[in-house]
Structure 1
Amino acid sequence: MGDVDNDLEELMSRLGDFGKYQAWQFSLHVISALTAGMHMMTLVTVAAVPDHRCAIPGVDADNFTAHWNSSEVLDSIPRSELGALDSCRIYGANGTTTDCDSWVYDTTYYRSSRGMEWNFVCSRRWMGALAQSAYMIGVFTGAVTLGSLADTHGRKKIFYTSSVLQTILGVSVALTPEYFSFLVLRFLYGVFGSAGAYITGFVLSMEIVGPSKRTVCGIAFQAVFAVGIMLVAGWGAVIKDRMWLQIVYGLHGALLMGHWWLIDESPRWLWAQGRTKEALAIIQKGLRMNGNDANVDVARYVSRGKARESSRDERAYGISDLFKTPNLRKKSVNVCLNWFANSIAYYGLSLGTGSLKGNPFLMLFLFSLVELPSYVVTVLLMDRTGRRSLISTTMILGGLCCVTASYIPQTDYRSVVVTISMLGKAFIASSFAIIYNYSAELFPTVLRNTALGVGSMCARLSGAMTPLIMLLDSLDPRVPAVVFGCLALVSGFLALYLPETLNQPMPQSLDDGEKFGVGDTCFASCVRSRSAKDRGVYEVALQDSDYKEIDKDTDRA
């Protein structure tokens, strides 16, 4: 699977898989997942579009709105075949229907929102979709730019810069009074709110914990991300003013403000940069916290580090290195598609909770809560089944749930649709969690943050497309879910061509990354397993026949 730096692995093994030091650092890193989940889904409540109907001239006014089932309303607004009021048209002169230009909103759950202020309805639905897409495009941009910067300038610097800026932007976006300024701030909010701190925090954790704990820590990041979404629902149910609601969301970034003095730079990154002495200082600090009194021969490691440094390639690694060599290129394309499909299905199901009947805060909360048992099962299975088979299975099952739920009438079988959709969310949440761990293990240290950044970039590209794809429900309500489901099915199958990383050392150099997993696919493993089994049966049969021949010879004698 490629060579690894034996000196570094020896030191990291002394540190242990998960002692007090790793637990302390992980508890600091994982807060970035909480804020990322919250920032990602704020628009679901801050820009919510509740049930609405056309405002009737002469009947509805600022201080009075007619009851939805009053005779004035029923006589002025056309109804669908199922008896629901048309939300975009009103009767005009001579009984003709015309598009309305003002609306009345159901305030049962929402008193104010950007969607109600700026009327993200009917021919203006694109404005709400574009606002969510602007955030995802920001995450897309941050994933690729900040991911590369973290590989060249260090994880800690990018983590903290993003932490400060996400707090400032999270509050600023609540105060802007104009739509296009709002879009610009949403874009910048996405760059730093759900990309910089979250991705670098994840990588920092993956690079200090041992192989046996990477699964648990990686999945814990996704679980805390889901808790962040649950907080979106919780605060949305309590705070009814959209401005103060967004300010509260934004201020959660302050939880990361003290991290510059609390978290350490990744010793793996420092080692890969030739900064051996700094890496050793952090490892020694970790050993002391973990109660390990082992003596580290600093002079020996530093001298050997200088020898490596003199022969080390000084060039900086970037995105292009993921695609230059055949094996890395195949893995990169496959992983990118996996990120893309996971994200579009995950956010399609998350953003689609608003279209389900019932309390929108409860629906958003439940669709996030269902992820937690999914993560527990994933943790229990990942180190038994491996990454490859589990991610493929969960994606295929999640895709089937998406497609199935879209063909069941919600009016007649609401509970069935909700149940299948929640199952789909659980499966996709599981596969989305696995791809974070899987990506970190597939790529070498010199490209790890870049690879995660590119993967996250693909996820955010599909995330940016998700609100726009959901507008296709005007053609047929089933189209968005079918698109999401089919992408998950295709990517789930292609994941079988990725190498297994379970119990394998993490590659360090670019050469390690290219050698890692050559020829290892699910199908090749099955063939090898079958060949070994057949060979075993043949050898047993041969041994039995030999014994029979020996017995015959003995009898003749």
Structure 2
Amino acid sequence: MWFQNSINSLLVWDKEPLKWGRFQQTVFFLLCASVVPNGFGVFFTVFLTDTPSHHCLVPEVNLSQAWRDATIPIEVVDGRQELSSCSRYRLDVVRNLSAQGLVPGRDVNLTDLEREGCVDGWSYSRDIYQSTIVSEFDLVCSDQWKQPFTTTLLLLGILFGSFVSGQLSDRFGRKPVLFATMAVQTLFTIVQIFSPSWTVFSILFFMSGLGQISNYISGFVLGAEILTGNVRDMFSTMGISLGFAVGYMLLPLFAYFLRDWKSLLLGLSLPCFAYIPLWWFIPESPRWLLSQGRVEEAEAIIRKAAKINKVEAPQVIFEDYSTHVNENNTHPKSNNNFLDLLSTRNIRNTTIILCLLWLTLSTGYFGLSLNTSQLHANPYISCFFSAAVEVPAYISCWLAQRYLPRRVSVISLLLLEAVSLYSIQLVPQSLSYLSFALEMLGKFAVSASSTLMYAYTAELYPTVLRNTATGTCCTVSRVGSCITPFLLKLCFYFKYLPNIILGTLAAVSAFAAFFLPESFGQPLPQTIQQMRKIKSITCPFTTRAEHSKPVIVVESRL
């Protein structure tokens, strides 16, 4: 307790007039800018792994034009006639019939001809893309499972990177991990351009994923530990999320002008080198430095901040630091771990429900984001709208976090997502824009609720379990995102099946959220014993302190 209070009182910017000085403005905007590459670094798979229209390649052989046009069978897909993607009529048979002067459809019944696979490769449409990794490595037909698996490997890299980077950040500092993970993301993305095979590309894709969200988490924690008061609340809910959304909105612009997958990777990577000078402008967290006993470095940062803000720092800043540290070390520390999240029935139920909510929200968010290329005839337009809808979502989340009960907000947003996704299958095909609007409404709901869950989770657990609980829920959510690429492929069996599954998960999670305790306007639990006193079943529309000021928690997003 002394440590937190001393930090708040000793940081020269903690006084209200100085919470938004030039030092805070610099840290705020530079950290928000540092996560912009994450916006296009995660979702460039929308364009990178999209499957162009394709059919079997017909080599240059002696065929009449009529037989060349008839070599690829016509199939009915979703009520439309399309060229077969994975078969053709046997070329030797077609060649003999063509040599005999027979006319397909008149002299020969095409349905009687034997078919074969695409033994000579495929011909890909270039109406939208010059190339993708699907056309580069022929990830179609018998190898079509590799297309969603490629995205899953990136998401697995993000999962492991998020887990490891948190521990590295606690060990080596927020700033080094922030820039190291940015370097991993950038360098491995560039190296992917030279991949000679899909296997090599996939390995490098996984390595790139290790840094994709890790620098987002490090930047979030760094800002949360440097900034204070309402500025910290705005940074953690709206500021850094809007930085991510800006990068997401820039993605379709890059993809529109760079339609070759190698050019796209290079174009998205080169701007990241502009972040190298930020090393000299973004400071290390003074709180972390103090926790490591590096008092002089922490004091130097605070004095520099005071100089930038044009205020005078006290001559002695951490006079009693060593004394209080020694006093704290005389008391035994409790070692809390993952098992404490299952220690009692109350905590166990809360943990299970929250894991379900995080899994649902992550699956819904990535499902609706990665499916943008299928929502509209122009994938660039649909991707931009999918990104732009996150801006009002984050603003709404910030307002809801300040003025509305957590449980009411989460339940309402989950129900909005469920209703939107269920309603899509009721829309006639002639009203495709209405379906698109409903899917964007679902994306709005899942984006807002995903951001809100960070604060809600942190407020439900005591201080000794807060980081562990948030990290556990975040890890579970990454598992949901990893299965999303394969979930989207269920549309081959029934067009609306992915939306039905996502909507059902949202509806079930909304019901489960009803049993969570409310945290709005209530003091944070400090011990496990205090959390045990919280009742799991209470009315979702009332709180114990309806008129008290909401407590917004940004301890960690790890």
In structure 2, relative to structure 1, the CA distance for the partners of 1:522 and 1:320 (3 Å cut) is: closer
Contact residue 150 and residue 449 of structure 1 kept, 8 A: no
In structure 2, relative to structure 1, the CA distance for the partners of 1:485 and 1:440 (3 Å cut) is: same
Contact residue 350 and residue 536 of structure 2 kept, 8 A: no
How many angstroms apart in 2 are the aligned matches of 1:229 and 1:401?
23
Q: Which residue of 2 aligns with 1:457?
A: 475
In structure 2, relative to structure 1, the CA distance for the partners of 1:445 and 1:158 (3 Å cut) is: farther
RMSD: 3.5
Instruction: Give the drift of 1:134.
Output: 0.3
The one-letter code matched in structure 2 to 1:151 is D
In structure 2, relative to structure 1, the CA distance for the partners of 1:215 and 1:496 (3 Å cut) is: farther
Contact residue 72 and residue 83 of structure 2 kept, 8 A: no
The one-letter code matched in structure 2 to 1:201 is G
Contact residue 463 and residue 527 of structure 2 kept, 8 A: no
How many angstroms apart in 1 are the aligned matches of 2:273 and 2:522?
38
Q: Which residue of 1 aligns with 2:386?
A: 367
In structure 2, relative to structure 1, the CA distance for the partners of 1:105 and 1:134 (3 Å cut) is: same
Q: Which residue of 1 aligns with 2:153?
A: 134
Q: Which residue of 1 aligns with 2:82?
A: 84
TM (norm. structure 2) is 0.82
The one-letter code matched in structure 1 to 2:402 is D
Contact residue 72 and residue 84 of structure 2 kept, 8 A: no
The one-letter code matched in structure 1 to 2:480 is S
The one-letter code matched in structure 2 to 1:424 is G
Contact residue 338 and residue 495 of structure 1 kept, 8 A: yes
Q: Which residue of 2 aligns with 1:384?
A: 403
Contact residue 354 and residue 457 of structure 2 kept, 8 A: yes
279, 282, 302: which one pairs with 1:263?
A: 282
28, 32, 35: which one pairs with 2:34?
A: 32
Q: Which residue of 1 aligns with 2:57?
A: 55
Matches for 1:498-509 after TM superposition, within 5 Å: 498-502=516-520
Matches for 1:43-192 after TM superposition, within 5 Å: 43-58=45-60, 72-73=68-69, 76-80=72-76, 81-92=79-90, 94-101=112-119, 102-192=121-211
How many angstroms apart in 2 are the aligned matches of 1:41 and 1:528?
39
Instruction: Give the drift of 1:326.
Output: 6.5
How many residues of Structure 1 are paired with residues of Structure 2 in the alignment?
Answer: 519
In structure 2, relative to structure 1, the CA distance for the partners of 1:221 and 1:451 (3 Å cut) is: farther
Instruction: Give the drift of 1:498.
Output: 4.3
Q: Which residue of 2 aligns with 1:351?
A: 370
Mean Cα displacement is larger for which, 158-167 or 420-429?
158-167
The percent of aligned pairs where both chains have the same amino acid is 28
Contact residue 170 and residue 251 of structure 1 kept, 8 A: no
Instruction: Give the drift of 1:28.
Output: 2.2
- The answer to which structure, 1 or 2, has the higher relative contact order (CA under 8 A, 6+ apart) is 1
The one-letter code matched in structure 2 to 1:6 is N
Instruction: Give the drift of 1:198.
Output: 0.8
Q: Which residue of 1 aligns with 2:221?
A: 203
The one-letter code matched in structure 1 to 2:143 is R
How many angstroms apart in 1 are the aligned matches of 2:206 and 2:506?
27
Instruction: Give the drift of 1:98.
Output: 4.3
How many angstroms apart in 2 are the aligned matches of 1:322 and 1:525?
23
Instruction: Give the drift of 1:40.
Output: 0.7
The one-letter code matched in structure 1 to 2:272 is G
Q: Which residue of 2 aligns with 1:14?
A: 14
How many angstroms apart in 1 are the aligned matches of 2:158 and 2:291?
27
Instruction: Give the drift of 1:481.
Output: 1.6
Q: Which residue of 1 aligns with 2:495?
A: 477
The one-letter code matched in structure 1 to 2:443 is K
429, 433, 445: which one pairs with 1:415?
A: 433
Contact residue 56 and residue 72 of structure 2 kept, 8 A: no
The one-letter code matched in structure 2 to 1:8 is I
Instruction: Give the drift of 1:75.
Output: 6.6
Contact residue 4 and residue 506 of structure 1 kept, 8 A: no
Instruction: Give the drift of 1:290.
Output: 3.7
Mean Cα displacement is larger for which, 262-271 or 314-323?
314-323
Residue 84 of structure 1 aligns to a residue in which SS?
strand
CA offset digits 1:462-512 (Å, max 9, x no partner): 1110011112222222222222222222233333444555566777xxx54
Residue 123 of structure 2 aligns to a residue in which SS?
strand
Instruction: Give the drift of 1:384.
Output: 0.8
Mean Cα displacement is larger for which, 349-358 or 101-110?
101-110
Q: Which residue of 2 aligns with 1:238?
A: 257
CA offset digits 1:511-553 (Å, max 9, x no partner): 5476358516672575666999xxxxxxxxxxxxxxxxxxxxx
How many angstroms apart in 1 are the aligned matches of 2:366 and 2:427?
20
In structure 2, relative to structure 1, the CA distance for the partners of 1:199 and 1:498 (3 Å cut) is: farther
CA offset digits 1:329-352 (Å, max 9, x no partner): 555444333322111111111111
The one-letter code matched in structure 1 to 2:86 is C
Structure with greater helix share of residues: 1
The one-letter code matched in structure 2 to 1:82 is R
In structure 2, relative to structure 1, the CA distance for the partners of 1:176 and 1:514 (3 Å cut) is: farther
How many angstroms apart in 2 are the aligned matches of 1:436 and 1:291?
35
Q: Which residue of 1 aligns with 2:308?
A: 289
Instruction: Give the drift of 1:49.
Output: 1.3
Instruction: Give the drift of 1:420.
Output: 0.4
How many angstroms apart in 2 are the aligned matches of 1:506 and 1:531?
15
Q: Which residue of 1 aligns with 2:241?
A: 222
Instruction: Give the drift of 1:20.
Output: 2.8
Gaps in structure 2 of 5+ consecutive residues: 94-111, 548-558
How many angstroms apart in 2 are the aligned matches of 1:23 and 1:387?
29
Q: Which residue of 1 aligns with 2:359?
A: 340
CA offset digits 1:238-286 (Å, max 9, x no partner): 1122212112222343243334433223233344555556545544444
CA offset digits 1:297-331 (Å, max 9, x no partner): 53543144323442355787765565557666555
CA offset digits 1:185-229 (Å, max 9, x no partner): 1111111122x2111111122223334334421222222212222
Instruction: Give the drift of 1:163.
Output: 1.8
Instruction: Give the drift of 1:288.
Output: 4.2
